[in-house]
Amino acid sequence: MTYIPHTDKDRQEMLAVVGVDRLDDLYEAIPENVRFPDLNLPDPISEMEVTQELQALSEANLEVFHTSCFLGAGAYNHFIPSVVDHTLRRNEFYTAYTPYQPEISQGTLQATFEYQSLMAQLTGMDVSNASHYDGATALAEAVILALNHHRGKRNKIVISPAIHPHYRQVVRTYTQGMGLTITGDEKCETEPKDLVKMLDEDTALVTVQYPDFFGNITDLSALGEAAQASGALFCVVINPLALGMLVPPGDFGADIVVGDGQPLGISLSYGGPTVGIFTTKDKYVRKMAGRLVGETVDSRGQRGYVLTLTPREQHIRRDKATSNICTNQGLMALASAVYLSVMGKQGLRRVAELCYHKAHYAAERIDALKGFTLWNKHPFFHEFVIKCPRPVAEINERLLEWDILGGYDLGQEYPDLKDHMLVAVTEVIAKEEIDDLVAALEEVSND
Amino acid sequence: MTEPLIYELSSPGRKGVSLPAVDVPETTLPEGLVRVELPLPEVAENDVVRHFMRLSQLNYSVDTGFYPLGSCTMKYNPKVNEDMARLPGFALTHPLQDPDTAQGNLAMMYALQDWLMEIGGFAGVSLQPAAGAHGEMTGILIIRAYHHDRGDKGRNKILIPDSAHGTNPASTTMSGMDVIEIPSDARGNIDLDELKKHCDESVAGLMLTNPNTLGLFEEHVQEVIDLVHGCGGLIYGDGANMNALLGVVRPGDLGIDVLHYNLHKTFSTPHGGGGPGSGPVGVAEKLVDFLPDPVVGIVDEGDEDKPPLYGLITPVKSIGRVKAFHGHFGVILRAYTYMRMLGKSGLRAVSDYAVLNANYLLAKLRDTYKVPFDRICMHEFVAEGHWDDAPDIHALDIAKRLMDYGFHPPTNYFPLIVPEALMIEPTETESKESLDVFIEAMLAIAKEAREDPDTLKSAPHKTLFGRMDEVQAARQLVLCCRPSYLDKPDNK
């Protein structure tokens, strides 16, 4: 199946109009010695066959519906109301391109404006862009904004070790050609108050996660004030779902808030695509990378929306652009806008509280087990760290026998946290599943 | 036709979703950390459905009609791809679960890496980059890392033709390199004399879009590549235009060292109103070790009774991660479905008919619209949307008038080297009939330009919205609906 509608007659007529005899004749500009390679690719198959093949392949995976998933670490198994995917399946949304022609793109534009509004208000900030690729790349863009804000005069980034390891790696990848000092994440126990001491006149940005990678939630006001005093920008990496119940980072004096929107109605899908949230204060709007939708009126006096402040962007500014980002994560931003709309004020708060209560019940019960200790010293949201009596990989392998997907092995990224498991509990986990986990852990530790 | 904002549909106390009761003992909420205000809308499920349904109806899309947006490859997005990406066995997998329990995902990704290598003529592929521009940045970082690894740290210049996508220079700057622009010659190729002047030991590489943004295959591609290689530089290929090259020529065979693919263009994954895309990067043998972390590899070959075991592998000199987790898996899966169905012969047919459709349009339009570099084109071409005998009419007016005829306009004002550019890319999934109706509209508009220019200047007329005041949008920035917004009487 090729999705090509041409009949033999069409082809002949069209070739005649073009003035060549055969399709091959269209390629004479291509060097003959490399033209028409014989590719080693499979033969075509039908739609029926491909669905059978992929169904079989998908069944080679373990998935979270048939297991109790206690794995989080930046990707969470939440309930997604049916409305969300039904909206994403609207052909007019998913088969449109970037809304360059506003007269026939008001659906995408208004939905994006609503996404921007929802994100700004959820995070307690003035403005949001139309989104970045994911939380990690949004953090890298925050670093670049801070460097531009200081016009290259400040070259130090202070970064908490309790920011998702992948996000910290992405920041380092993005900035490897920029000659920066990135510090603060050398030891896993470094807390926000310890970062205060690292701020100096060379610091362009200080960034922490909230709730942090270990689940902790702490008051960030003091760090916000210290950042302001030192002239560094203050960026907070959030889990947007947690903001259903937590004080938004805007209240702590954040200059930039970034995060991954996956918890808001986006399926796990092996980690992507998701959506990168980026919100900031009005005063940084012209330095913010990424697409922006603004309100205006049309020639008939109707309220409408357009892409705005485009002179910042690469198709006009080229090498002087604020970023190379060309698109946003349109459809994923739409998913989170639909999710927040249908959840609403009461629903989002409720989901956040369900996560919170269930996680605390689980933590308390596991902490009571012999050999397992709760590591967190602060309040936490829906994730917590358990020091285990055996290697986490061994425990997780045993938990699979109970159809339980165990938590994240922190020793992979934090050598000091060998045998420490990061456990996530979301609203989809029932009390019985937590009780099963506790029973399983008890059995595993007694082996 | 204005649709209210979701906030304007809100009514205090209304709920859109039912959620279960708490089934565990409750814990005190953390003191001082609980928010007081949560300014989200309060709407019913039905409100949400109708609201977004009505918004969707304000969009034009590929599934609405012909969308010849040059350089964007707006081909048909097969529906089976959507269903495959939603199979629970894929959609409900966690990115950090043990790779041993995600063998279906990894086998699929490994096969796609393999096919992209084969199509591009490369020795390695990373599926991690999230979009084309992201792949570009990845590629430039790989080039930089390669030179640094060899101790060759003085190479900080990237040569970029003036016809290149704007992302090329922006990606270069982001990677900490300097941009040198190379002009085009009279036939739309890279100006070889200008290129020679810049080829020295400070060159890290050249970014080549081929077919270029005029839709033309570079006639001196081998000379260009040899010149840059001759001074020690590498060639970055912008694969945005791969739709013309499947089974026709492999960029790696031409000597291109690194190239990004756009799965959302060439391999039929939907554009989603501006994302998510996917921009895998293919590299020559000498760059394989620098690919982003991780790539999918075989960790145990297996045997007759046992399938191979796939794993996630960090290349030894990797530039690092470019995003969290493993790329846009859901998009990658759609592209896999497409390539698996089309197979070798189907993929070649894609390019054949994409190029045939473009040349057919070109042949039918060239007497009416000036085509500045007129020769056999590849999958797209650029015409000028301006006539000396209709001086008030610009490319923008033609674009807007096309909406009245039921089409999405071509890309306009790009590439910058053609005045009043209309960049037209029909793709292979459009029938002769649909091209003929478009041709009729283009010819009718050319006539209107002379006889009734005011109709063009004020177009579109039949769309639900007229031209937007973009100056007001930029001057009086309203970027989000704040509480104060809802208090203003004229916004209700």
Residues B329 and B420 in one domain: no
Residues of B in contact with A270 (CB under 8 A): 90, 93-95, 102, 105, 325-326, 329-330
Task: Count CB-CB contacts under 10 A for residue B298.
Answer: 14
Which residues partner with A293 through β-bridges?
A307
**Whole-number Å distance between alpha carbons of A195 and A214:** 17
What does DSSP say about strands A404-405 and A408-409: parallel, antiparallel, or unpaired?
A: unpaired
Helix, coil or strand: residue A206:
strand
**Whole-number Å distance between alpha carbons of B87 and B108:** 14
Chain B residue whose CA is closest to A88? B272
Place B485 in a pLDDT band, splitting at 50, 70 and 90: low
Mutation choice for B interface testing from A3, A395, A405 by most B CBs within 10 A: A3
**How does pLDDT run across A52-107, given as a tens digit for each residue?**
999 999 999 999 999 999 999 999 999 999 999 999 999 999 999 999 999 999 99
Tell me what the mean pLDDT of segment A174-193 comes to: 95
* Spatial contact of A406 and A425, defined as CB atoms under 8 Å apart: no
**How does pLDDT run across A205-232, given as a tens digit for each residue?**
999 999 999 999 999 999 999 999 999 9
Tell me what the mean pLDDT of segment B423-428 comes to: 97
Place B165 in a pLDDT band, splitting at 50, 70 and 90: confident
Residues B267 and B358 in one domain: no
**pLDDT for residue B416:** 83
Token pair in block for residue B377: 């084109």
- DSSP collapsed to 3 states, chain B: CCCCCHHHHCCCCCCCCCCCCCCCCCCCCCCCCECCCCCCCCCCHHHHHHHHHHHHCCECCCCCCCCCECCCCCCCCCHHHHHHHCCHHHHCCCCCCCHHHEHHHHHHHHHHHHHHHHHHCCCEEECCCCCHHHHHHHHHHHHHHHHHHCCCCCCCEEEEECCCCCHHHHHHHHCCCEEEEECECCCCCECHHHHHHHCCCCEEEEEEECCCCCCCCCCCHHHHHHHHHHCCCEEEEEECCHHHCCCCCCHHHHCCCEEEECCCCCCCCCCCCCCCCCCCEEECHHHHHHCCCCEEEEEECCCCCCCCEEEEECCCCCCCCCCCCCCCHHHHHHHHHHHHHHHHHHHHHHHHHHHHHHHHHHHHHCCCCCCCCCCCCCCCEEEECCECCECCCCHHHHHHHHHHCCCCCCEECCCCCCCCEEEECCCCCCCHHHHHHHHHHHHHHHHHHHHCHHHHHCCCCCCCCCCECHHHHHHCCCCCCCHHHHHCHHHC
Residues B187 and B283 in one domain: yes
ipTM over 0.95? The verdict is yes
**How does pLDDT run across A111-132, given as a tens digit for each residue?**
999 999 999 999 999 999 999 9
Asked, for residue B107, whether it belongs to a domain, the answer is yes
Q: What does DSSP assign to residue A246?
A: B
Mutation choice for A interface testing from B59, B314, B412 by most A CBs within 10 A: B59
**How does pLDDT run across B77-92, given as a tens digit for each residue?**
999 999 999 999 999 9
Residues B328 and B363 in one domain: no
Residue B490 has pLDDT above 70, yes or no: no
Q: What CATH number corresponds to the domain at position B429? A: 3.90.1150.10
Q: pTM value?
A: 0.97
Instruction: Choose one of B287, B318, B341: the last residue of a domain.
Output: B341
Q: Which domain holds residue B319?
A: 80-341
What does DSSP say about strands B295-300 and B309-313: parallel, antiparallel, or unpaired?
A: antiparallel
The conformational region for residue B320 under phi > 0 = left, psi -120 to 50 = alpha, else beta, is left
**pLDDT for residue A216:** 98
- From the number of C-beta atoms within 10 Å of its C-beta (0-12, 13-18, 19+), residue B49 rates as middle
Residues B186 and B233 in one domain: yes
Residues 245-284 (B) with a CB less than 8 A from some CB of A: 247-250, 253-254, 268, 270-278
Tell me what the mean pLDDT of segment A398-418 comes to: 97
The conformational region for residue B294 under phi > 0 = left, psi -120 to 50 = alpha, else beta, is beta
**pLDDT for residue A315:** 62
Asked, for residue B433, whether it belongs to a domain, the answer is yes
Residues B204 and B327 in one domain: yes
Which residues partner with B206 through β-bridges?
B159, B235
* Spatial contact of A351 and A78, defined as CB atoms under 8 Å apart: yes
Are B42 and A346 within 8 A, CB to CB?
A: yes
Rounded to whole angstroms, what are the CA distances from B165 to B136, B273, B426? 11, 19, 19
Tell me what the mean pLDDT of segment A248-272 comes to: 97
Domain count, chain B: 2
Instruction: Choose one of B314, B341, B368: the last residue of a domain.
Output: B341
Are B131 and A326 within 8 A, CB to CB?
A: yes
Length in residues, chain B: 492
**Whole-number Å distance between alpha carbons of A287 and A85:** 34
- Whether cis (ω within 30° of 0) applies to the bond prior to A192 is no
**Which stretch of A163-172, A185-194, B167-176, B230-239 has the lowest confidence by average pLDDT?**
B167-176
**pLDDT for residue B414:** 85
Asked, for residue B8, whether it belongs to a domain, the answer is no
Residues B336 and B369 in one domain: no
* Spatial contact of B29 and A356, defined as CB atoms under 8 Å apart: yes
Residues 76-95 (B) with a CB less than 8 A from some CB of A: 76-78, 80, 82-95
**pLDDT for residue B483:** 64
Q: Is B458 on the interface with A (CB under 8 A)?
A: yes
**Whole-number Å distance between alpha carbons of A94 and B268:** 12
**Whole-number Å distance between alpha carbons of A215 and A67:** 22
Nearest by CB to B272, which of A164, A244, A331?
A331
- The domains of chain A, with CATH numbers, are 8-58 (no CATH), 68-79+344-446 (3.90.1150.10), 82-339 (3.40.640.10)
Instruction: Choose one of B281, B309, B341: the last residue of a domain.
Output: B341
**pLDDT for residue A311:** 67
* Nearest CA-CA partner of A128 in A340, A353, A365: A340
Place B180 in a pLDDT band, splitting at 50, 70 and 90: very high
Residues B257 and B359 in one domain: no
Residue A425 has pLDDT above 90, yes or no: yes
**pLDDT for residue A323:** 73
Question: In percent, how much of chain B has pLDDT > 90?
Answer: 89
Asked, for residue B313, whether it belongs to a domain, the answer is yes
**pLDDT for residue B491:** 44
Q: What does DSSP assign to residue A289?
A: -
**How does pLDDT run across A241-254, given as a tens digit for each residue?**
999 999 999 999 99
**pLDDT for residue B385:** 96
Identify the H or E element spanning A223: helix A221-230
Which residues partner with B381 through β-bridges?
B424
**Whole-number Å distance between alpha carbons of B223 and A42:** 34
Residues B131 and B183 in one domain: yes
**How does pLDDT run across B272-310, given as a tens digit for each residue?**
999 999 999 999 999 999 999 999 999 999 999 999 999
Chain A residue whose CA is closest to B47? A342
Place B492 in a pLDDT band, splitting at 50, 70 and 90: very low
Are B324 and A30 within 8 A, CB to CB?
A: no
Residues B235 and B354 in one domain: no
* Spatial contact of B36 and A251, defined as CB atoms under 8 Å apart: no
Asked, for residue B278, whether it belongs to a domain, the answer is yes
Asked, for residue B419, whether it belongs to a domain, the answer is yes
Mutation choice for A interface testing from B2, B43, B55, B224 by most A CBs within 10 A: B55
Are B93 and A63 within 8 A, CB to CB?
A: yes
Distance to chain A for B121, nearest Cα, Å:
9
Amino acid identity of B139?
Answer: G
Distance to chain B for A337, nearest Cα, Å:
10
**How does pLDDT run across B111-137, given as a tens digit for each residue?**
999 999 999 999 999 999 999 999 999
**pLDDT for residue B376:** 94
Residues of B in contact with A123 (CB under 8 A): none
Contact residues for B474 (Cβ-Cβ < 8 A; gap 6+): A294, A308, A309
Residues of A in contact with B460 (CB under 8 A): 103-104
Q: What does DSSP assign to residue A300?
A: T
**pLDDT for residue B424:** 97
Q: What CATH number corresponds to the domain at position B150? A: 3.40.640.10
Tell me what the mean pLDDT of segment B226-255 comes to: 96
Are B431 and A27 within 8 A, CB to CB?
A: no
Residues B424 and B318 in one domain: no
Place A359 in a pLDDT band, splitting at 50, 70 and 90: very high
Rounded to whole angstroms, what are the CA distances from B411 to B60, B210, B217, B262, B473? 15, 18, 19, 18, 22
Tell me what the mean pLDDT of segment B315-331 comes to: 98
Asked, for residue B10, whether it belongs to a domain, the answer is no
Residues B323 and B420 in one domain: no
**pLDDT for residue B82:** 98
Place A2 in a pLDDT band, splitting at 50, 70 and 90: confident
Asked, for residue B237, whether it belongs to a domain, the answer is yes
